[in-house]
A and B are shown apart, each in its own frame.
Chain A
Amino acid sequence: MLFATWQNIGLLGLGVIIGTFVGAVPGMTTPMAVALTLPFTFTLNPVSGILLLLGVYKGGIYGGSITAILINAPGTPAASCTVLDGYPLAQRGEARRALDIALYASCIADFFSNISLILFAGMLASLALAFGSPEVFTLILFSLTIIAGVSGDQLLKGLGSAALGLILATIGLDLIYGTDRFVFGEVQLMSGLNFIPVLIGLFALPEIIAFYGRKEVAREHNPLAGKGASLADLKSCLKSIVRGSFIGVILGAIPGIGGAPSAFLSYSEAKRNSKTPEKFGTGEIEGVAAAESGNNGVAGATLIPLLALGIPGDIITAIILGAFMIHGLRPGPLLFQDNLSLIYALFIGIMLSSIYLLIVGKVSIRLISRIADIPHRILFPIVLVLCVFGAYAVNNTIFDVGVMFAMGFIGFGMLTLKIPAAPFLIAFILGPLLEDNFRQSLLLAKGSWTIFFSSPICWLFWGLTVIAVAVLLRRNIRSNAMRN
């Protein structure tokens, strides 16, 4: 039993605690927490390291709702829907009730999501064994359409950001001919840029730099007064929780959708089906339950495309993909064939994470509300030093610290110009796979592009890509028209 060690059980719990605490601090995002935890997993075995990160992921998604309810500041974008009813409830002195329902909804949705992962990931992986280079190329091309999902209303800038990520991923030695690409005589660049300093630089540093340009607003203290949620509350919300869980699972399994749209869809469905829709937005407990179940329902499901196909569904799973690669593992169908025991260990850990979430959530609510009060002027300088140590620990080289700082400046520039950073990172991670399979296919076909249309699987992914692009363009044109 690969899972049954005290280290695994303890680290998973620790991950949930870290994620919950970090997610509860506004300005500290879940991807930032996962990125900062990553260097601590290098010396762990793969199962322990990945479970630690999964714990941070799960905890972070729940933690974001705590400050959304208490101080009207969602810790994560996905928790922004929870604010709508959670904060009015807290203002009425029912913060405890709202937090309890948010926790129960999160745990139930997380459990549903984990079950779906266990049921569907293996099936999808066995199908993916029929994939060759051209099929993988078209699959990755399709998966790059997730960039649109993480670009928000900045689609063109998101695509530009992705192009920059693809270019940066080409630095190093050419895989076919072994010649230099953008190395310019720097030996450290020959093996390319390590993704962790790039990641930390792009996500953590810009937030810290941006903090220095903002006024720090004194937070209103919200004592956790009032009663907790009753069984009747849970019963009244159960239908919305189950509906939200299914919405989360379906949207989570589609790469690039993420927690926020799922939470809003679940919320709007709950409101549409409610007998008292007018109460939504004024402190309706069912609104909190719907938002949180939709938000947490994606957590397990986003791992389906990651484990089965090696495609990250969102930015956090992209980081977890990097963690697999650091440990010499490549998620995808072959992982199910060669490392089945590891997959089962992860499944058991993921199931256990729902229970941890319930325990950590119940125990830590009071403490977390105090942690969230740490002023950013103390928190962010400490995070800066943590970033420096973390970037160095990747390869034991100060060069990586320099890369992190450089990426931090670029990331801050992108933040200032509202160029989304997530497409950059997704393209940076998927870029080498895209190029390798592109060139391998052309090598097989002696330079003929017809190989990319040679099998039904290729056609399927071309079709899906065209449909995805058409839908995205339509959505973009509509939103532009509405804005104008």
Chain B
Amino acid sequence: MKRDLYSGLIFIALGVALLTILVPMGIVEPRKVRFAALSPSYYPRIVAGVLLLLGLAVAWRSRRETTAAPASNRHPNATGRIACFIALLGAYALLLPWLGFVAAGFLGLLAAFWIAGEHRLKLVLPLAVLVPLMLYFFFLKVALIPIPTGLLTFLLQGV
């Protein structure tokens, strides 16, 4: 992978997007600004410009870059495992409000263990139950932070 080239292109794309779309659309300018330098978009524009220049410099420097060899400790099924784990994170984030932290933690842990290659149910089941429960009670009882319980409200309420 040509890391420097891709990095440079990403910086350039972000710099251009900021200057042409995100800053004009995302920053609300007051009707009257006393000095141009006090405008809310003045500083972000400078930073976006710097980002664009840095992107050009990184991309320019990458012209002699050779494709990096894959790491020696790369897993044979690295892409599949990473894709599965990223999908798990997406599902975790989406289902968290509905499932609650304990149930989502249980399912998330089981899936994460499974993708990582740890399939011993005698080990993973107790861990998947205990870890979210212990964190839940720590935050609730010690740190006094209420944690959403979602589906398990009927079980955990009042405990």
Which residues on B sit within 8 Å (CB–CB) of A39? 143
Inter-subunit contact B47/A381 (CB<8 Å): no
A373 within 8 A of B: no
Contact B37 A439 (CB under 8 A): yes
Residue pair B93, A401 in contact (C-beta under 8 Å): yes
Q: Are A215 and B74 in contact (CB under 8 A)?
A: yes
The answer for the CA separation of A377 and B116 in the assembled complex, in Å, is 5
A-facing mask of B125-148, CB < 8 A → 1, else 0? 001000110011001001111111
Cα of A180 to Cα of B26 in the assembled complex, Å = 7
Please give the distance in Å from B14's CB to the nearest CB on chain A: 7
Interface size class of A (residues with CB under 8 A): 35 or more
B123: chain A residues at CB < 8 Å are 378
Cβ of A417 under 8 Å from chain B: yes
Cβ of B85 and Cβ of A209 under 8 Å apart?
yes
Question: Does A192 belong to the interface (CB within 8 Å)?
Answer: no
Q: Are B38 and A447 in contact (CB under 8 A)?
A: yes
The reply to whether A176 and B38 form a contact with Cβ atoms under 8 Å apart is: yes
Q: Is the CB of B27 within 8 A of A179?
A: yes
Contact with A along B26-48 (1 / 0, CB 8 A): 11111001111110110110011
Q: Does B121 contact A (CB under 8 A)?
A: no
Residues of B within 8 A of A409 (CB): 86, 89
**Complex alpha-carbon distance, A411 and B9, angstroms:** 17
CA distance A453 to B135 in the complex (A): 53
Cβ A163 vs Cβ B143 within 8 A:
no
Q: Is A232 an interface residue (CB 8 A)?
A: no
Q: Are B40 and A385 in touch, CB under 8 angstroms? A: no
- Bound CA–CA A442/B145 (angstroms): 42
Stretch at the interface among A117-125, A181-189, A260-268, A276-284: A181-189
A459 contacts the other chain (CB 8 A): no
B78 and A174: CB pair below 8 A? no
Q: Which residues of B sit under 8 angstroms from A377, Cβ to Cβ? A: 113, 116-118
Residues in chain B near residue A389, CB distance under 8 A: 101, 105, 132, 135-136, 139, 147
A17 vs B118: C-alpha distance in the bound complex, in angstroms? 28
Contact of B145 among A42, A180, A380, A417 (CB under 8 A): A42
Asked if A134 lies at the interface with its beta carbon under 8 angstroms from chain B, I say no
Is the pair A181, B61 in contact by a Cβ cutoff of 8 Å? no
Q: Tell me if B135 and A385 are in contact (CB < 8 A).
A: yes
A228 beta carbon closer than 8 Å to chain B: no
Q: Is B73 in contact with A215, judged by CB distance below 8 angstroms?
A: yes
The answer to whether B11 touches A160 (Cβ under 8 A) is yes
> CB distance B109 to A179 under 8 Å?
no
| Chain A residues positioned under 8 Å from B156 (CB to CB) | none
> A471 on the interface (CB 8 Å rule)?
no
A182, B22: Cβ atoms closer than 8 Å: yes
B74 touches A214 (CB 8 A): yes
A269 beta carbon closer than 8 Å to chain B = no
